[in-house]
């Protein structure tokens, strides 16, 4: 039997023994929280009478804005979001928290709260918000070349508007937190967050306590996908505030429908564009304005818009380009990070345009992509130089793997014969920038302890959320210390063991935390090497240097001797010799910077490239489709774990095809989401896997790659799912070449496009 790949959580998940926050036993005296959520999207809260709720048996306390000891503010980057508002900004905004002995009591008591509102007109459409100049910050711009001149002299120009929609995160584990009072003023908060630092910081401001009084502990998350980078903070604050005011443990746990009603989603975008191009298909100019529907508060909208702008040209080198972006305030729950962080929304526009130009010019879209693609030494619109660009090789591989030229002929034949079914084909490439675009976040720490028996404990600031960061960190430690992975335990994330941790986001988890762990281990190794040489000499009289020691598989050997030490034996010797067996490692990504005023810099440490091809078969009568085959070529540096990366690629692909072809958010005229469960909001299931799926991971030796030559994998493959949208559009255009498919490509949208 072949050995199973390392996946530290796999066995625990399969046997039901991995622990999540809600698995913790109830604590004595624990109170359960339920919330009064605003029924209005925009209103003034004129009066709040909680007396009946407070008097209800089993209710311990009802908490509102007036109870907050510190600042009524949970905005982080932009300080615009109160914990409890006086001006309500979205339907579902919490207005009061009831703490009771059990959940049903708390729920009933919420219904006893009397609130008076003065309704104000809400805005939901991004275009309206933009016309009202309702922006969090002024317009952003990235520009290179001379767009006006290039458009004026272009052989052809084409303009249009492209929209993409929001998306519910649908993590398995809903938002939750548990706060526990400790000695003196300390409070421990178990939080389902991607960011221990943000939770700690915001709680400390709301409670008016120094950060060292707030301990954030994150065992693991049951999925996050960006939906807990910022959106988890408010619930951690609620729990901590409850505990601060009552001195009791407090649990906050949203039900699925509460979670879907009140939390922000992926940003819907609306984008106006003009391209200039030649009859041979060269694109000379691109002018683009991206509008992001940010919802009620800034949250991460500005950074998300910025990443959309950084990805607006995707894999194309367009010499004259002007990208403008405005993040708009609407009365929806604050939209937030979601896998890709704006990049999918930016890339969707240019990929739509390429498909359109190809059909106008009667050319294969892949030819146009190749004709305009980035080459080494090209500059991006924001001045970052392209190096080691593998796009040509990616396209070659994809063509070969899918037998592309033959496939096209096959499809043409099929479509000529078939009247009720049509097939379609599309390729979508990606160039995804890795690093937080907020440069200061590109830092991380790790704490490594080697215990006396040779077993190792590792804590990083990274959060385990199903992406199996813990396995990747363990692999790094195993390689650096030369010990079997079974000897390593990767701990929960905890602000006392590793403080000031950046969110686990931007796909940088393994780069930042893996490197920090590597650096900590190297520090310990610098002491263990001479100790090993010393021990060899004292045991066997071998004269050897510290540098020649080989640490591998839990053994230490040197070329001059056939004897070897065991790691455990060395650790015992090191301890007895009073050599430190712990280290703190710190890593910051070198060389990343960006000047927002000038729109110039090197925001990314490197790029991840790849491309996907999807083939679909469309039922013209029902608008439904089958995904016949998918081929993916993904360039990944030298992978730490090909199996984990494969899982990430498939997961991202499926999540993205959900966004493009299934999932549809609906809200009513009051801005209340109507899609609040899987019965009204369709996410992909196991049957939505393609009938044939081939993934090739291209190893590249790109020197800019990160820990042990690996590259990040979490978000870039999300782009591949778009190929399903474009394949469906391609199938439709077989029937009607002018057809416009709206987003997402649900059967309804497809039938509409076919008309
Ligand atoms: N995979 C699983 N299983 N669960 C998740 O929540 N989040 C994605 C991606 N893959 C996610 C996931 C997102 S949005 C990001 S940014 C990265 O994982 C974060 O982890 P990493 O930086 O360690 O790749
Ligand atoms: N990605 C994810 N989260 C972030 C980023 C980013 O680029 N910048 C700030 N927070
Ligand atoms: Mo991922 S959207 O950066 O958490």
Query: Could you tell me the distance, in angstroms and rounded to a whole number, from the CA of residue 83 to the centre of ligand 2?
Result: 23
pLDDT of residue 4: 62
CB 342 near ligand 3, within 6 Å: no
Q: What is the pLDDT of residues 237-250, one digit of tens each?
A: 999 999 999 999 99
Query: Could you tell me the distance, in angstroms and rounded to a whole number, from the CA of residue 505 to the centre of ligand 1?
Result: 7
Q: Quick one: which ligand is closest to 507's CA?
A: 1
pLDDT of residue 699: 85
pLDDT of residue 2: 47
pLDDT beyond 70 at 7: yes
pLDDT of residue 462: 98
Q: Which residue spans within 545-703 are E strands per DSSP?
A: 550-552, 555-557, 565-566, 582-588, 593-595, 600-602, 606-619, 625-635, 692-698
Name the CATH code of domain 10-121+169-262 (choices 1.10.10.10, 3.30.70.3270, 3.40.50.1820, 3.90.1170.50).
3.90.1170.50
pLDDT of residue 700: 77
| Residue 715: active-site member | yes
What is the average pLDDT across 135-159? 98
Query: Could you tell me the distance, in angstroms and rounded to a whole number, from the CA of residue 694 to the centre of ligand 1?
Result: 22
Name the CATH code of domain 384-437+593-755 (choices 3.30.365.10, 1.10.10.60, 3.40.50.2030, 3.20.20.70).
3.30.365.10
Measured between alpha carbons, how far is 535 from 529 in angstroms, rounded to an integer? Answer: 10
Measured between alpha carbons, how far is 663 from 743 in angstroms, rounded to an integer? Answer: 10
Query: Could you tell me the distance, in angstroms and rounded to a whole number, from the CA of residue 715 to the centre of ligand 1?
Result: 7
Measured between alpha carbons, how far is 330 from 136 in angstroms, rounded to an integer? Answer: 10
pLDDT of residue 520: 98
pLDDT of residue 703: 72
pLDDT of residue 6: 85
- Whose alpha carbon is nearest atom 4 of ligand 3? 226
CA angle 90/94/96 to nearest 5° reads 145
Domains 128-155+274-333+340-373 and 443-588 share a fold: yes
pLDDT of residue 3: 61
pLDDT beyond 50 at 542: yes
Q: Which of 691, 715, 740, 748 is catalytic?
A: 715
Query: Could you tell me the distance, in angstroms and rounded to a whole number, from the CA of residue 505 to the centre of ligand 2?
Result: 6
pLDDT of residue 738: 87
Name the CATH code of domain 128-155+274-333+340-373 (choices 3.30.365.10, 1.10.3720.10, 3.40.50.720, 3.40.50.1370).
3.30.365.10
Q: What is the pLDDT of residues 702-729, one digit of tens each?
A: 777 899 999 999 999 999 999 999 999 9
Query: Could you tell me the distance, in angstroms and rounded to a whole number, from the CA of residue 297 to the centre of ligand 1?
Result: 24
pLDDT beyond 70 at 554: yes
Q: Which of 227, 467, 505 to mutate to test the pocket of ligand 2 (most atoms within 8 A of CB)?
A: 505
What is the average pLDDT across 681-687? 95
Measured between alpha carbons, how far is 63 from 241 in angstroms, rounded to an integer? Answer: 9
pLDDT beyond 60 at 298: yes
Segments making up each domain of the chain, as ranges: 10-121+169-262, 128-155+274-333+340-373, 384-437+593-755, 443-588
Name the CATH code of domain 443-588 (choices 3.30.365.10, 1.10.1740.10, 3.50.50.60, 3.40.50.2300).
3.30.365.10
Neighbours of 572 (CB within 10 A): 15
Beta-ladder partners of 180 = 188
What is the average pLDDT across 163-190? 98
Q: What is the pLDDT of residues 387-425, one digit of tens each?
A: 999 999 999 999 999 999 999 999 999 999 999 999 999
- Whose alpha carbon is nearest atom 23 of ligand 1? 509
How much of the chain exceeds pLDDT 90, in percent? Answer: 97
Which residues, judged by CB distance below 6 Å to any ligand atom, belong to the binding site of ligand 1?
A: 223-226, 339, 465-467, 469, 504-510, 648, 651, 712, 714-715
- Whose alpha carbon is nearest atom 16 of ligand 1? 505
pLDDT beyond 60 at 565: yes
Helical axes 747-754 vs 722-733, angle rounded to 10°: 30
| Cβ-based neighbours of 168, under 8 Å, separated by 6 or more | 260, 265, 663, 665, 675, 681, 683
Q: Which of 303, 344, 502 to mutate to test the pocket of ligand 2 (most atoms within 8 A of CB)?
A: 303
Mean pLDDT, all residues of the chain:
97
pLDDT of residue 273: 98
Ligand 3 atom nearest the C-alpha of 226 is 4
Q: Which residue spans within 337-479 are E strands per DSSP?
A: 421-434, 443-450, 456-460
Q: Quick one: which ligand is closest to 714's CA?
A: 1
What is the average pLDDT across 114-134? 98
Q: What is the pLDDT of residues 566-622, one digit of tens each?
A: 999 999 999 999 999 999 999 999 999 999 999 999 999 999 999 999 999 999 999
Determine what percent of the chain falls in helix, strand and coil, rounding each to the nearest 5.
Answer: 35, 25, 40
CB 505 near ligand 3, within 6 Å: yes
pLDDT beyond 50 at 747: yes
Q: What is the pLDDT of residues 352-386, one digit of tens each?
A: 999 999 999 999 999 999 999 999 999 999 999 99
Beta-ladder partners of 512 = none
């Amino acid at each position: 039997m072949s050995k199973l790949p390392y996946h530290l959580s796999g066995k625990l998940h399969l046997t039901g023994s991995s622990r999540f926050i809600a698995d913790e036993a109830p604590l004595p005296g624990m109170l359960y929280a339920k919330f009064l959520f605003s029924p209005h999207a925009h209103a003034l809260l004129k009066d709040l009478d909680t007396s009946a709720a407070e008097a209800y048996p089993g209710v311990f306390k009802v908490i509102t804005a007036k109870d907050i000891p510190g600042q009524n503010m949970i905005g982080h980057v932009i300080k615009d979001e109160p914990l409890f508002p006086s001006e309500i900004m979205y339907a579902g905004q919490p207005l009061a928290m009831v703490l009771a002995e059990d959940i049903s009591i708390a729920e009933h008591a919420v219904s006893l709260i009397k609130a008076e509102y003065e309704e104000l007109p809400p805005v939901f459409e991004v275009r309206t918000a933009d016309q009202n100049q309702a922006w969090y910050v002024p317009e952003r711009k990235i520009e290179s070349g001379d767009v006006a001149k290039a458009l004026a002299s272009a052989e052809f120009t084409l303009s249009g508007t492209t929209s993409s929609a929001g998306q519910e995160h649908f993590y398995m584990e809903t938002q939750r937190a548990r706060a526990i009072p400790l000695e003196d003023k300390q409070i421990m908060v178990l939080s389902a967050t991607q960011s221990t630092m943000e939770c700690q910081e915001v709680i400390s401001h709301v409670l008016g306590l120094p950060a060292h009084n707030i301990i954030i502990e994150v065992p693991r998350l049951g999925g996050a996908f960006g939906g807990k980078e910022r959106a988890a903070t408010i619930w951690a604050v609620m729990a901590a505030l409850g505990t601060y005011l009552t001195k009791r443990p407090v649990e906050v746990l949203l039900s699925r429908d509460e979670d879907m009603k009140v939390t922000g989603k992926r940003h819907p975008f609306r984008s106006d564009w003009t391209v200039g191009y030649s009859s041979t298909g060269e694109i000379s100019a691109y002018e683009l304005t991206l509008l992001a529907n940010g919802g009620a508060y800034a949250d991460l909208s500005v950074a998300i818009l910025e990443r959309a702008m950084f990805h607006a040209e995707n894999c194309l080198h367009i010499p004259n380009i002007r990208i403008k972006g405005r993040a708009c305030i609407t009365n929806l729950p604050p939209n937030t990070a979601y896998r890709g962080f704006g990049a999918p929304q930016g890339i969707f526009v240019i990929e739509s345009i390429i498909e359109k130009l190809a059909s106008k010019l009667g050319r294969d879209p892949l030819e146009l992509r190749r004709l305009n693609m980035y080459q080494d030494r090209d500059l991006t619109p924001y001045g970052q130089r392209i190096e080691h660009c593998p796009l040509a090789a990616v396209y070659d591989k994809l063509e070969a793997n899918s037998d592309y030229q033959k496939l096209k002929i096959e499809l043409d034949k099929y479509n000529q014969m078939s009247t009720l079914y049509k097939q379609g084909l599309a390729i979508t490439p990606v160039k995804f920038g890795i690093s937080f675009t907020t440069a200061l976040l590109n830092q991380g720490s790790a704490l490594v302890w080697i215990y006396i028996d040779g077993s190792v404990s590792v804590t990083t600031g990274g959060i385990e959320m199903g992406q199996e960061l813990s396995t990747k960190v363990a692999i790094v430690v195993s390689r650096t210390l030369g010990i079997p992975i079974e000897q390593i335990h990767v701990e929960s994330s905890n602000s006392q063991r590793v403080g000031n941790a950046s969110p686990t986001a931007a796909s940088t988890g393994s780069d930042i935390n893996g490197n920090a762990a590597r650096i900590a281990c190297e520090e310990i190794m610098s002491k263990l090497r001479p100790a090993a040489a010393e021990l060899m000499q004292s045991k066997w009289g071998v004269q050897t240097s510290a540098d020649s020691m080989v640490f591998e598989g839990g053994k230490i050997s040197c070329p001059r001797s056939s004897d070897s030490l065991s790691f455990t034996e060395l650790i015992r010797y090191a301890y007895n010799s009073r050599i430190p067996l712990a280290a703190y490692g710190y890593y910051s990504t070198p060389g990343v910077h960006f000047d927002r005023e000038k729109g110039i810099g090197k925001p990314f440490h490197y790029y991840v490239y790849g491309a996907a091809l999807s083939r679909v078969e469309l039922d013209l009568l029902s608008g439904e489709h089958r995904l016949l085959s998918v081929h993916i070529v993904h360039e990944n540096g030298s992978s730490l774990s090909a199996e984990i990366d494969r899982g990430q690629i498939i997961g991202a692909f499926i999540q993205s095809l959900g966004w493009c072809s299934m999932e549809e958010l609906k809200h009513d005229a009051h801005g209340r989401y109507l899609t609040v469960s899987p019965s009204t909001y369709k996410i992909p299931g196991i049957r939505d896997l393609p009938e044939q799926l081939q993934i090739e991971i291209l190893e590249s030796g790109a020197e800019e790659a990160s820990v042990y030559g690996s590259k990040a994998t979490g978000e870039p493959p999300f782009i591949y799912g778009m190929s399903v949208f474009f394949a469906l559009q391609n199938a439709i255009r077989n029937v009607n070449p002018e057809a416009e498919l709206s987003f997402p490509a649900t059967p309804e949208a497809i039938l509409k496009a076919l008309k």
